[in-house]
Structure 1
Protein backbone atom coordinates (compact mmCIF):
# COMPACT_ATOMS: atom_id res chain seq x y z
CA UNK A 1 0.00 0.00 0.00
CA UNK A 2 2.74 2.47 0.96
CA UNK A 3 4.76 1.39 -2.06
CA UNK A 4 1.85 2.15 -4.41
CA UNK A 5 1.23 5.46 -2.68
CA UNK A 6 4.75 6.85 -2.25
CA UNK A 7 7.22 5.01 -4.48
CA UNK A 8 5.39 3.53 -7.46
CA UNK A 9 4.78 6.90 -9.21
CA UNK A 10 8.53 7.56 -9.38
CA UNK A 11 9.37 4.00 -10.44
CA UNK A 12 6.74 3.80 -13.16
CA UNK A 13 7.06 7.21 -14.82
CA UNK A 14 10.18 8.92 -16.12
CA UNK A 15 8.61 12.39 -15.99
CA UNK A 16 7.98 11.95 -12.24
CA UNK A 17 11.63 11.04 -11.65
CA UNK A 18 12.76 14.07 -13.63
CA UNK A 19 10.43 16.32 -11.67
CA UNK A 20 11.74 14.88 -8.40
CA UNK A 21 15.36 15.50 -9.43
CA UNK A 22 14.50 19.06 -10.44
CA UNK A 23 12.62 19.80 -7.22
CA UNK A 24 15.45 18.33 -5.15
CA UNK A 25 18.04 20.50 -6.92
CA UNK A 26 15.89 23.58 -6.34
CA UNK A 27 15.62 22.71 -2.64
CA UNK A 28 19.37 22.18 -2.29
CA UNK A 29 20.16 25.66 -3.56
CA UNK A 30 16.99 27.55 -2.66
CA UNK A 31 16.93 26.42 0.98
CA UNK A 32 20.20 28.13 2.03
CA UNK A 33 19.49 31.21 -0.09
CA UNK A 34 16.05 31.53 1.46
CA UNK A 35 17.49 31.38 5.00
CA UNK A 36 19.85 34.27 4.27
CA UNK A 37 17.06 36.23 2.59
CA UNK A 38 14.91 35.78 5.69
CA UNK A 39 17.68 36.66 8.17
CA UNK A 40 18.63 39.75 6.15
CA UNK A 41 14.98 40.81 6.10
CA UNK A 42 14.90 40.56 2.31
CA UNK A 43 12.03 38.09 1.95
CA UNK A 44 9.90 40.50 -0.08
CA UNK A 45 12.98 41.38 -2.12
CA UNK A 46 13.10 37.76 -3.28
CA UNK A 47 9.45 37.93 -4.29
CA UNK A 48 10.02 41.18 -6.18
CA UNK A 49 13.04 39.74 -7.99
CA UNK A 50 11.02 36.67 -8.99
CA UNK A 51 8.62 38.92 -10.88
CA UNK A 52 11.43 41.09 -12.22
CA UNK A 53 12.79 38.28 -14.41
CA UNK A 54 9.50 37.94 -16.29
CA UNK A 55 10.00 40.64 -18.98
CA UNK A 56 13.39 39.24 -19.97
CA UNK A 57 12.03 35.71 -20.18
CA UNK A 58 9.06 37.04 -22.14
CA UNK A 59 11.35 38.76 -24.67
CA UNK A 60 13.24 35.48 -25.12
CA UNK A 61 9.89 33.73 -25.62
CA UNK A 62 8.78 36.29 -28.22
CA UNK A 63 12.00 35.92 -30.21
CA UNK A 64 12.64 32.18 -29.94
CA UNK A 65 9.55 30.57 -28.40
CA UNK A 66 9.95 28.20 -25.45
CA UNK A 67 13.72 28.15 -25.82
CA UNK A 68 15.66 27.37 -22.63
CA UNK A 69 18.79 29.44 -23.48
CA UNK A 70 16.82 32.45 -24.71
CA UNK A 71 14.46 32.58 -21.73
CA UNK A 72 17.31 31.96 -19.29
CA UNK A 73 19.51 34.72 -20.68
CA UNK A 74 16.55 37.09 -20.88
CA UNK A 75 15.53 36.33 -17.29
CA UNK A 76 19.06 36.84 -15.99
CA UNK A 77 19.43 40.14 -17.84
CA UNK A 78 16.09 41.45 -16.57
CA UNK A 79 16.77 40.33 -12.99
CA UNK A 80 20.17 41.98 -12.82
CA UNK A 81 18.85 45.12 -14.52
CA UNK A 82 16.03 45.53 -11.99
CA UNK A 83 18.37 44.88 -9.05
CA UNK A 84 20.82 47.50 -10.29
CA UNK A 85 18.08 50.00 -11.14
CA UNK A 86 16.45 49.64 -7.71
CA UNK A 87 19.80 50.10 -5.99
CA UNK A 88 20.57 53.16 -8.11
CA UNK A 89 17.19 54.75 -7.37
CA UNK A 90 17.61 54.08 -3.64
CA UNK A 91 21.04 55.71 -3.58
CA UNK A 92 20.23 58.76 -5.70
CA UNK A 93 16.72 59.63 -4.48
CA UNK A 94 14.78 59.72 -1.21
CA UNK A 95 12.98 56.49 -2.14
CA UNK A 96 13.97 53.42 -0.11
CA UNK A 97 15.21 50.26 -1.84
CA UNK A 98 12.14 48.21 -0.90
CA UNK A 99 9.81 50.81 -2.41
CA UNK A 100 11.94 51.02 -5.56
CA UNK A 101 11.89 47.22 -5.90
CA UNK A 102 8.12 47.17 -5.42
CA UNK A 103 7.67 49.73 -8.20
CA UNK A 104 9.95 47.88 -10.62
CA UNK A 105 8.40 44.52 -9.77
CA UNK A 106 4.87 45.74 -10.57
CA UNK A 107 6.05 47.25 -13.84
CA UNK A 108 7.96 44.05 -14.70
CA UNK A 109 5.02 41.77 -13.96
CA UNK A 110 2.60 43.81 -16.08
CA UNK A 111 5.12 44.15 -18.92
CA UNK A 112 6.02 40.46 -18.91
CA UNK A 113 2.41 39.27 -19.00
CA UNK A 114 1.67 41.74 -21.82
CA UNK A 115 4.65 40.56 -23.89
CA UNK A 116 3.74 36.89 -23.53
CA UNK A 117 0.12 37.67 -24.44
CA UNK A 118 1.20 39.40 -27.67
CA UNK A 119 2.29 36.13 -29.24
CA UNK A 120 1.45 33.22 -26.96
CA UNK A 121 -1.75 31.46 -26.04
CA UNK A 122 -3.22 31.06 -22.58
CA UNK A 123 -1.29 27.80 -22.31
CA UNK A 124 1.99 29.63 -22.94
CA UNK A 125 1.08 32.26 -20.35
CA UNK A 126 0.33 29.58 -17.77
CA UNK A 127 3.66 27.91 -18.61
CA UNK A 128 5.53 31.15 -17.92
CA UNK A 129 3.60 32.04 -14.77
CA UNK A 130 3.32 28.61 -13.15
CA UNK A 131 6.02 26.50 -14.80
CA UNK A 132 5.98 22.91 -16.05
CA UNK A 133 7.78 20.86 -13.43
CA UNK A 134 6.41 17.63 -14.95
CA UNK A 135 7.93 18.43 -18.35
CA UNK A 136 11.57 19.05 -17.43
CA UNK A 137 13.99 17.94 -20.15
CA UNK A 138 17.70 17.10 -19.87
CA UNK A 139 18.83 20.64 -20.63
CA UNK A 140 16.63 22.14 -17.92
CA UNK A 141 17.74 19.55 -15.36
CA UNK A 142 21.38 20.30 -16.17
CA UNK A 143 20.69 24.02 -15.79
CA UNK A 144 19.00 23.59 -12.40
CA UNK A 145 21.72 21.20 -11.19
CA UNK A 146 24.42 23.61 -12.39
CA UNK A 147 22.77 26.49 -10.55
CA UNK A 148 22.62 24.38 -7.37
CA UNK A 149 26.31 23.52 -7.70
CA UNK A 150 27.35 27.14 -8.26
CA UNK A 151 25.14 28.34 -5.40
CA UNK A 152 26.47 25.87 -2.85
CA UNK A 153 30.06 26.58 -3.87
CA UNK A 154 29.55 30.34 -3.69
CA UNK A 155 27.80 30.15 -0.32
CA UNK A 156 30.70 28.12 1.05
CA UNK A 157 33.04 30.98 0.09
CA UNK A 158 30.68 33.76 1.25
CA UNK A 159 29.39 32.07 4.39
CA UNK A 160 31.32 34.07 6.99
CA UNK A 161 30.64 37.57 5.63
CA UNK A 162 26.99 36.69 5.00
CA UNK A 163 26.55 35.43 8.56
CA UNK A 164 28.33 38.47 9.99
CA UNK A 165 26.16 40.80 7.95
CA UNK A 166 23.05 39.05 9.30
CA UNK A 167 24.25 39.23 12.92
CA UNK A 168 26.22 42.49 13.11
CA UNK A 169 26.62 44.44 9.85
CA UNK A 170 28.29 47.33 11.68
CA UNK A 171 31.06 45.05 12.91
CA UNK A 172 31.59 43.62 9.43
CA UNK A 173 31.96 47.12 7.98
CA UNK A 174 34.49 48.02 10.67
CA UNK A 175 36.77 45.03 10.11
CA UNK A 176 36.37 44.26 6.42
CA UNK A 177 35.34 45.69 3.08
CA UNK A 178 33.90 42.37 1.98
CA UNK A 179 30.34 43.28 2.95
CA UNK A 180 29.41 45.13 -0.25
CA UNK A 181 30.98 42.50 -2.51
CA UNK A 182 29.26 39.71 -0.57
CA UNK A 183 25.93 41.52 -0.84
CA UNK A 184 26.23 41.89 -4.61
CA UNK A 185 27.32 38.27 -5.01
CA UNK A 186 24.39 37.16 -2.87
CA UNK A 187 21.94 39.14 -5.02
CA UNK A 188 23.42 37.42 -8.07
CA UNK A 189 22.78 34.04 -6.42
CA UNK A 190 19.18 35.06 -5.72
CA UNK A 191 18.66 35.99 -9.38
CA UNK A 192 20.14 32.79 -10.84
CA UNK A 193 18.15 30.64 -8.39
CA UNK A 194 14.95 32.43 -9.34
CA UNK A 195 15.73 31.85 -13.01
CA UNK A 196 16.25 28.15 -12.31
CA UNK A 197 13.03 28.01 -10.32
CA UNK A 198 11.25 29.89 -13.08
CA UNK A 199 11.75 27.03 -15.54
CA UNK A 200 10.26 24.50 -13.13
CA UNK A 201 7.69 26.43 -11.10
CA UNK A 202 7.09 29.62 -13.08
CA UNK A 203 7.69 33.20 -12.09
CA UNK A 204 4.84 33.33 -9.58
CA UNK A 205 5.87 30.25 -7.58
CA UNK A 206 9.68 30.14 -7.92
CA UNK A 207 10.28 32.12 -4.74
CA UNK A 208 8.08 29.70 -2.78
CA UNK A 209 10.80 27.03 -2.74
CA UNK A 210 13.10 29.59 -1.14
CA UNK A 211 10.98 31.35 1.45
CA UNK A 212 8.48 28.79 2.77
CA UNK A 213 11.10 26.18 3.81
CA UNK A 214 13.28 28.94 5.26
CA UNK A 215 10.37 30.37 7.25
CA UNK A 216 9.57 26.86 8.52
CA UNK A 217 13.17 26.31 9.62
CA UNK A 218 13.08 29.46 11.76
CA UNK A 219 10.68 27.73 14.17
CA UNK A 220 12.97 24.72 14.66
CA UNK A 221 16.30 26.31 15.50
CA UNK A 222 18.04 29.60 16.13
CA UNK A 223 21.34 28.33 14.73
CA UNK A 224 21.97 29.41 11.15
CA UNK A 225 23.67 26.16 10.14
CA UNK A 226 20.81 24.08 11.50
CA UNK A 227 18.27 26.39 9.85
CA UNK A 228 19.96 25.85 6.48
CA UNK A 229 19.79 22.08 6.94
CA UNK A 230 16.15 22.13 8.05
CA UNK A 231 15.18 24.48 5.22
CA UNK A 232 16.82 22.24 2.64
CA UNK A 233 15.17 19.13 4.09
CA UNK A 234 11.73 20.77 4.17
CA UNK A 235 12.18 21.84 0.54
CA UNK A 236 13.17 18.35 -0.58
CA UNK A 237 10.31 16.69 1.28
CA UNK A 238 7.85 19.30 -0.02
CA UNK A 239 8.97 18.62 -3.57
CA UNK A 240 8.49 14.86 -3.24
CA UNK A 241 5.21 15.13 -1.33
CA UNK A 242 3.83 17.74 -3.70
CA UNK A 243 4.54 15.54 -6.71
CA UNK A 244 2.86 12.57 -5.03
CA UNK A 245 -0.14 14.75 -4.16
CA UNK A 246 -0.36 15.93 -7.76
CA UNK A 247 -0.08 12.39 -9.12
CA UNK A 248 -2.88 10.97 -6.99
CA UNK A 249 -5.27 13.94 -7.10
CA UNK A 250 -4.71 15.41 -10.56
CA UNK A 251 -3.82 18.82 -9.11
CA UNK A 252 -1.17 20.94 -10.90
CA UNK A 253 2.27 19.82 -9.77
CA UNK A 254 3.91 23.22 -9.16
CA UNK A 255 1.14 24.63 -6.95
CA UNK A 256 0.92 21.27 -5.14
CA UNK A 257 4.60 21.51 -4.18
CA UNK A 258 4.14 25.05 -2.85
CA UNK A 259 0.95 24.06 -0.99
CA UNK A 260 2.81 21.25 0.76
CA UNK A 261 5.61 23.67 1.66
CA UNK A 262 2.93 26.03 2.97
CA UNK A 263 1.48 23.21 5.07
CA UNK A 264 4.96 22.57 6.51
CA UNK A 265 5.19 26.26 7.41
CA UNK A 266 1.80 26.23 9.18
CA UNK A 267 2.78 23.07 11.10
CA UNK A 268 6.12 24.64 12.10
CA UNK A 269 4.36 27.82 13.16
CA UNK A 270 2.15 25.79 15.47
CA UNK A 271 4.47 23.15 16.93
CA UNK A 272 8.00 24.42 16.27
CA UNK A 273 10.04 24.42 19.51
CA UNK A 274 11.45 27.90 18.81
CA UNK A 275 8.57 30.29 19.49
CA UNK A 276 5.87 28.03 18.05
CA UNK A 277 2.36 29.13 18.97
CA UNK A 278 1.44 25.98 20.89
CA UNK A 279 4.64 26.14 22.93
CA UNK A 280 3.58 29.57 24.15
CA UNK A 281 0.59 27.95 25.82
CA UNK A 282 2.87 25.74 27.93
CA UNK A 283 3.47 27.53 31.27
CA UNK A 284 7.12 28.31 31.83
CA UNK A 285 9.02 27.65 35.00
CA UNK A 286 9.08 30.46 37.54
CA UNK A 287 12.24 31.40 39.35
CA UNK A 288 12.48 29.79 42.74
CA UNK A 289 13.96 31.57 45.73
Structure 2
Protein backbone atom coordinates (compact mmCIF):
# COMPACT_ATOMS: atom_id res chain seq x y z
CA UNK A 1 0.00 0.00 0.00
CA UNK A 2 2.73 2.43 0.99
CA UNK A 3 4.69 1.49 -2.11
CA UNK A 4 1.73 2.45 -4.29
CA UNK A 5 1.33 5.80 -2.52
CA UNK A 6 5.08 6.39 -2.74
CA UNK A 7 5.03 5.70 -6.48
CA UNK A 8 2.08 8.05 -6.89
CA UNK A 9 3.77 10.90 -5.00
CA UNK A 10 7.45 10.46 -5.75
CA UNK A 11 7.87 8.49 -8.98
CA UNK A 12 7.02 11.37 -11.36
CA UNK A 13 9.79 13.50 -9.83
CA UNK A 14 12.30 10.65 -9.87
CA UNK A 15 11.62 9.48 -13.42
CA UNK A 16 11.37 12.72 -15.41
CA UNK A 17 13.87 15.55 -15.55
CA UNK A 18 11.22 18.04 -16.70
CA UNK A 19 9.21 17.30 -13.53
CA UNK A 20 12.33 17.88 -11.40
CA UNK A 21 12.97 21.23 -13.08
CA UNK A 22 9.32 22.25 -12.78
CA UNK A 23 9.35 21.36 -9.07
CA UNK A 24 12.59 23.25 -8.45
CA UNK A 25 11.30 26.35 -10.24
CA UNK A 26 7.94 26.30 -8.47
CA UNK A 27 9.56 25.78 -5.05
CA UNK A 28 11.93 28.71 -5.57
CA UNK A 29 9.00 30.89 -6.64
CA UNK A 30 7.16 29.85 -3.47
CA UNK A 31 10.08 30.98 -1.30
CA UNK A 32 10.37 34.24 -3.22
CA UNK A 33 6.89 35.34 -4.29
CA UNK A 34 4.81 34.18 -1.31
CA UNK A 35 6.47 36.51 1.27
CA UNK A 36 6.20 39.40 -1.19
CA UNK A 37 2.51 38.52 -1.49
CA UNK A 38 2.11 38.84 2.29
CA UNK A 39 3.35 42.44 2.24
CA UNK A 40 1.33 43.16 -0.90
CA UNK A 41 -1.80 41.92 0.85
CA UNK A 42 -1.11 43.78 4.10
CA UNK A 43 -0.69 46.98 2.08
CA UNK A 44 -4.10 46.32 0.48
CA UNK A 45 -2.36 46.19 -2.89
CA UNK A 46 -3.35 42.67 -4.01
CA UNK A 47 -5.14 43.95 -7.10
CA UNK A 48 -2.14 46.14 -7.86
CA UNK A 49 -0.07 42.96 -8.04
CA UNK A 50 -2.58 41.49 -10.48
CA UNK A 51 -2.41 44.64 -12.60
CA UNK A 52 1.39 44.58 -12.57
CA UNK A 53 1.36 40.94 -13.69
CA UNK A 54 -0.56 41.94 -16.80
CA UNK A 55 1.54 45.06 -17.28
CA UNK A 56 4.64 43.02 -18.13
CA UNK A 57 2.88 41.43 -21.11
CA UNK A 58 3.68 44.11 -23.77
CA UNK A 59 7.38 44.04 -22.90
CA UNK A 60 7.48 40.26 -23.01
CA UNK A 61 5.55 40.35 -26.28
CA UNK A 62 8.06 42.82 -27.75
CA UNK A 63 10.88 40.45 -26.84
CA UNK A 64 8.93 37.61 -28.45
CA UNK A 65 8.32 39.60 -31.66
CA UNK A 66 12.01 40.40 -32.04
CA UNK A 67 13.67 37.20 -30.81
CA UNK A 68 10.99 34.51 -30.45
CA UNK A 69 10.58 32.52 -27.24
CA UNK A 70 13.99 33.51 -25.88
CA UNK A 71 14.42 33.98 -22.15
CA UNK A 72 16.60 37.10 -21.92
CA UNK A 73 14.73 39.40 -24.38
CA UNK A 74 11.31 38.47 -22.99
CA UNK A 75 12.53 38.90 -19.41
CA UNK A 76 14.13 42.29 -20.06
CA UNK A 77 11.08 43.42 -22.01
CA UNK A 78 8.75 42.39 -19.20
CA UNK A 79 10.93 44.10 -16.62
CA UNK A 80 10.99 47.39 -18.57
CA UNK A 81 7.24 47.26 -19.21
CA UNK A 82 6.50 46.59 -15.52
CA UNK A 83 8.61 49.53 -14.40
CA UNK A 84 7.10 51.86 -17.03
CA UNK A 85 3.53 50.95 -16.04
CA UNK A 86 4.27 51.31 -12.32
CA UNK A 87 5.83 54.74 -12.84
CA UNK A 88 3.14 55.79 -15.32
CA UNK A 89 0.26 54.82 -13.03
CA UNK A 90 1.97 56.55 -10.12
CA UNK A 91 2.53 59.71 -12.16
CA UNK A 92 -1.11 59.84 -13.29
CA UNK A 93 -2.34 59.44 -9.69
CA UNK A 94 -0.05 62.23 -8.46
CA UNK A 95 -0.58 64.70 -11.31
CA UNK A 96 -4.33 64.24 -11.85
CA UNK A 97 -7.49 63.70 -9.82
CA UNK A 98 -7.48 59.98 -10.52
CA UNK A 99 -6.62 57.54 -7.73
CA UNK A 100 -3.75 55.07 -8.19
CA UNK A 101 -6.01 51.98 -8.29
CA UNK A 102 -8.03 53.45 -11.18
CA UNK A 103 -4.95 54.51 -13.15
CA UNK A 104 -3.36 51.10 -12.54
CA UNK A 105 -6.52 49.38 -13.81
CA UNK A 106 -6.46 51.52 -16.96
CA UNK A 107 -2.79 50.75 -17.63
CA UNK A 108 -3.41 47.06 -16.93
CA UNK A 109 -6.27 46.77 -19.45
CA UNK A 110 -4.35 48.65 -22.13
CA UNK A 111 -1.21 46.56 -21.49
CA UNK A 112 -3.09 43.28 -21.68
CA UNK A 113 -4.76 44.22 -24.98
CA UNK A 114 -1.52 45.52 -26.52
CA UNK A 115 0.40 42.43 -25.43
CA UNK A 116 -2.13 39.97 -26.83
CA UNK A 117 -2.23 41.84 -30.16
CA UNK A 118 1.58 41.90 -30.37
CA UNK A 119 1.92 38.16 -29.73
CA UNK A 120 -0.88 37.39 -32.21
CA UNK A 121 0.90 39.40 -34.92
CA UNK A 122 3.68 36.88 -35.18
CA UNK A 123 2.89 33.83 -33.13
CA UNK A 124 0.35 31.06 -33.17
CA UNK A 125 -2.34 30.36 -30.60
CA UNK A 126 0.13 28.00 -28.91
CA UNK A 127 2.65 30.83 -28.52
CA UNK A 128 -0.08 33.05 -27.07
CA UNK A 129 -1.03 30.35 -24.55
CA UNK A 130 2.65 30.00 -23.62
CA UNK A 131 2.97 33.72 -22.91
CA UNK A 132 -0.33 33.99 -21.05
CA UNK A 133 -0.22 30.77 -19.02
CA UNK A 134 3.43 29.75 -18.98
CA UNK A 135 5.10 26.36 -19.42
CA UNK A 136 6.40 25.28 -16.04
CA UNK A 137 7.14 21.81 -17.44
CA UNK A 138 9.48 23.35 -20.02
CA UNK A 139 11.74 25.31 -17.66
CA UNK A 140 15.37 25.14 -18.80
CA UNK A 141 18.64 25.91 -17.05
CA UNK A 142 18.56 29.61 -17.95
CA UNK A 143 15.03 30.06 -16.60
CA UNK A 144 15.92 28.26 -13.36
CA UNK A 145 19.00 30.46 -13.00
CA UNK A 146 16.88 33.59 -13.40
CA UNK A 147 14.35 32.35 -10.82
CA UNK A 148 17.18 31.47 -8.42
CA UNK A 149 18.68 34.97 -8.75
CA UNK A 150 15.30 36.58 -8.11
CA UNK A 151 14.69 34.33 -5.11
CA UNK A 152 18.08 35.14 -3.57
CA UNK A 153 17.66 38.88 -4.22
CA UNK A 154 14.16 38.87 -2.74
CA UNK A 155 15.05 36.98 0.44
CA UNK A 156 18.12 39.15 1.09
CA UNK A 157 16.16 42.37 0.47
CA UNK A 158 13.29 41.27 2.71
CA UNK A 159 15.76 40.41 5.47
CA UNK A 160 17.42 43.84 5.22
CA UNK A 161 14.22 45.91 5.02
CA UNK A 162 11.96 43.65 7.10
CA UNK A 163 11.31 46.13 9.92
CA UNK A 164 10.73 49.05 7.56
CA UNK A 165 8.36 47.00 5.40
CA UNK A 166 6.33 45.88 8.41
CA UNK A 167 6.22 49.45 9.74
CA UNK A 168 5.02 50.78 6.39
CA UNK A 169 2.30 48.12 6.24
CA UNK A 170 1.04 49.04 9.70
CA UNK A 171 1.47 52.83 9.64
CA UNK A 172 3.13 54.37 6.56
CA UNK A 173 2.62 57.95 7.79
CA UNK A 174 4.41 57.17 11.06
CA UNK A 175 7.34 55.61 9.18
CA UNK A 176 7.69 58.70 6.97
CA UNK A 177 7.58 60.97 10.03
CA UNK A 178 10.36 59.17 11.94
CA UNK A 179 12.51 57.87 9.08
CA UNK A 180 13.64 58.79 5.59
CA UNK A 181 13.17 55.17 4.50
CA UNK A 182 9.44 55.53 3.75
CA UNK A 183 9.54 56.39 0.05
CA UNK A 184 12.70 54.37 -0.80
CA UNK A 185 11.24 51.27 0.88
CA UNK A 186 8.05 51.67 -1.13
CA UNK A 187 9.96 51.69 -4.43
CA UNK A 188 12.23 48.84 -3.30
CA UNK A 189 9.11 46.83 -2.56
CA UNK A 190 7.55 47.63 -5.95
CA UNK A 191 10.81 46.48 -7.51
CA UNK A 192 10.52 43.16 -5.69
CA UNK A 193 6.96 42.78 -6.97
CA UNK A 194 8.04 43.40 -10.57
CA UNK A 195 11.05 41.04 -10.57
CA UNK A 196 9.01 38.27 -8.92
CA UNK A 197 6.26 38.64 -11.48
CA UNK A 198 8.85 38.53 -14.28
CA UNK A 199 10.37 35.37 -12.75
CA UNK A 200 6.94 33.84 -12.29
CA UNK A 201 6.09 34.70 -15.88
CA UNK A 202 8.69 32.17 -17.05
CA UNK A 203 6.85 29.36 -15.28
CA UNK A 204 3.21 30.41 -14.99
CA UNK A 205 2.71 33.09 -17.64
CA UNK A 206 1.41 36.61 -17.17
CA UNK A 207 -2.13 35.61 -16.19
CA UNK A 208 -1.15 33.16 -13.43
CA UNK A 209 2.18 34.44 -12.08
CA UNK A 210 0.43 36.59 -9.49
CA UNK A 211 -1.52 33.56 -8.25
CA UNK A 212 1.45 32.00 -6.46
CA UNK A 213 2.16 35.41 -4.96
CA UNK A 214 -1.31 36.23 -3.61
CA UNK A 215 -3.19 32.99 -2.86
CA UNK A 216 -0.73 31.45 -0.34
CA UNK A 217 -0.40 34.83 1.38
CA UNK A 218 -4.18 35.27 1.53
CA UNK A 219 -4.57 31.75 2.96
CA UNK A 220 -1.88 32.37 5.60
CA UNK A 221 -3.73 35.39 6.94
CA UNK A 222 -6.54 33.14 8.17
CA UNK A 223 -4.11 31.34 10.49
CA UNK A 224 -2.04 34.06 12.17
CA UNK A 225 -1.67 37.80 12.78
CA UNK A 226 2.15 37.87 13.07
CA UNK A 227 3.80 39.01 9.85
CA UNK A 228 6.83 36.72 10.17
CA UNK A 229 4.65 33.67 10.85
CA UNK A 230 2.41 34.69 7.96
CA UNK A 231 5.42 34.72 5.61
CA UNK A 232 6.53 31.25 6.75
CA UNK A 233 3.02 29.87 6.37
CA UNK A 234 2.66 31.47 2.93
CA UNK A 235 5.88 29.79 1.81
CA UNK A 236 4.60 26.47 3.17
CA UNK A 237 1.29 26.85 1.35
CA UNK A 238 3.17 27.75 -1.83
CA UNK A 239 5.33 24.61 -1.53
CA UNK A 240 2.29 22.38 -0.95
CA UNK A 241 0.47 24.01 -3.87
CA UNK A 242 3.46 23.50 -6.17
CA UNK A 243 3.94 19.82 -5.31
CA UNK A 244 0.23 18.93 -5.35
CA UNK A 245 -0.39 20.97 -8.49
CA UNK A 246 2.41 19.26 -10.41
CA UNK A 247 1.20 15.83 -9.27
CA UNK A 248 -2.35 16.73 -10.30
CA UNK A 249 -1.04 17.92 -13.64
CA UNK A 250 0.92 14.72 -14.19
CA UNK A 251 -1.69 12.16 -13.13
CA UNK A 252 -4.80 13.93 -14.49
CA UNK A 253 -3.14 15.30 -17.66
CA UNK A 254 -4.03 18.90 -16.76
CA UNK A 255 -2.11 22.11 -17.65
CA UNK A 256 0.57 22.44 -14.99
CA UNK A 257 0.34 26.18 -14.26
CA UNK A 258 -3.43 26.26 -13.72
CA UNK A 259 -3.17 23.05 -11.65
CA UNK A 260 -0.72 24.76 -9.28
CA UNK A 261 -2.96 27.80 -8.92
CA UNK A 262 -6.04 25.60 -8.40
CA UNK A 263 -4.20 23.78 -5.62
CA UNK A 264 -3.38 27.14 -4.02
CA UNK A 265 -7.03 28.11 -4.42
CA UNK A 266 -8.13 24.94 -2.62
CA UNK A 267 -5.79 25.73 0.29
CA UNK A 268 -7.25 29.23 0.39
CA UNK A 269 -10.81 27.86 0.53
CA UNK A 270 -9.88 25.48 3.36
CA UNK A 271 -8.21 28.33 5.25
CA UNK A 272 -11.26 30.58 4.85
CA UNK A 273 -13.43 27.90 6.45
CA UNK A 274 -11.17 26.10 8.93
CA UNK A 275 -8.38 28.58 9.74
CA UNK A 276 -7.96 29.86 13.29
CA UNK A 277 -9.26 33.20 11.99
CA UNK A 278 -11.67 31.62 9.51
CA UNK A 279 -15.43 31.30 9.38
CA UNK A 280 -15.88 28.30 11.70
CA UNK A 281 -13.92 29.73 14.62
CA UNK A 282 -14.97 33.38 14.33
CA UNK A 283 -18.46 33.72 12.86
CA UNK A 284 -20.29 30.58 13.91
CA UNK A 285 -19.65 30.78 17.69
CA UNK A 286 -20.97 34.38 17.71
CA UNK A 287 -24.09 33.31 15.83
CA UNK A 288 -24.80 30.44 18.21
CA UNK A 289 -24.17 32.72 21.20
CA UNK A 290 -26.71 35.26 19.94
CA UNK A 291 -29.37 32.62 19.33
CA UNK A 292 -28.78 31.20 22.79
Same fold (TM over 0.5): yes
| Structure 2 counterpart of 1:71 | 74
| Structure 2 counterpart of 1:83 | 86
| Structure 1 counterpart of 2:147 | 144
C-alpha separation in 2, matches of 1:191 and 1:203? 12
C-alpha separation in 1, matches of 2:124 and 2:172? 48
Structure 1 residue 285, shift from structure 2 partner: 11
| Structure 2 counterpart of 1:246 | 249
| Structure 2 counterpart of 1:212 | 215
Does the alignment pair 1:161 with 2:164? Answer: yes
Q: What TM-score does the superposition give when structure 1 sets the normalisation length?
A: 0.97
Q: What TM-score does the superposition give when structure 2 sets the normalisation length?
A: 0.96
C-alpha separation in 1, matches of 2:80 and 2:249? 33
Does the alignment pair 1:265 with 2:275? Answer: no
Q: How does 1:102-117 map to 2 (within 5 A)?
A: 102-117=105-120
Match of 2:15 among 6, 12, 16: 12
Rate the CA distance shift 1:244–1:177 in 2: closer, same or farther, 3 A.
Answer: same
Deviations 1:174-211 (A, max 9, x none): 10010100000100000000000001000000000000
Structure 1 residue 173, shift from structure 2 partner: 1.3
C-alpha separation in 2, matches of 1:70 and 1:285? 59
| Structure 2 counterpart of 1:277 | 279
| Structure 2 counterpart of 1:229 | 232
After TM superposition, the structure 1 stretch with the greater mean CA deviation from structure 2, 164-173 or 132-141, is 164-173
Number of residue equivalences = 285
C-alpha separation in 2, matches of 1:46 and 1:72? 17
C-alpha separation in 2, matches of 1:204 and 1:126? 10
Structure 1 residue 282, shift from structure 2 partner: 3.0
Structure 1 residue 283, shift from structure 2 partner: 5.3
Gaps of 5+ in 1: none
Structure 1 residue 169, shift from structure 2 partner: 1.5
Gaps of 5+ in 2: none
Structure 1 residue 4, shift from structure 2 partner: 1.2
| SS of aligned partner of 1:204 | helix
C-alpha separation in 2, matches of 1:66 and 1:284? 55
CA RMSD, 1 decimal: 1.1
Rate the CA distance shift 1:152–1:273 in 2: closer, same or farther, 3 A.
Answer: same
Q: How does 1:35-74 map to 2 (within 5 A)?
A: 35-74=38-77
C-alpha separation in 1, matches of 2:176 and 2:86? 22
C-alpha separation in 2, matches of 1:188 and 1:111? 23
The structure where helix makes up a greater share of residues is: 2
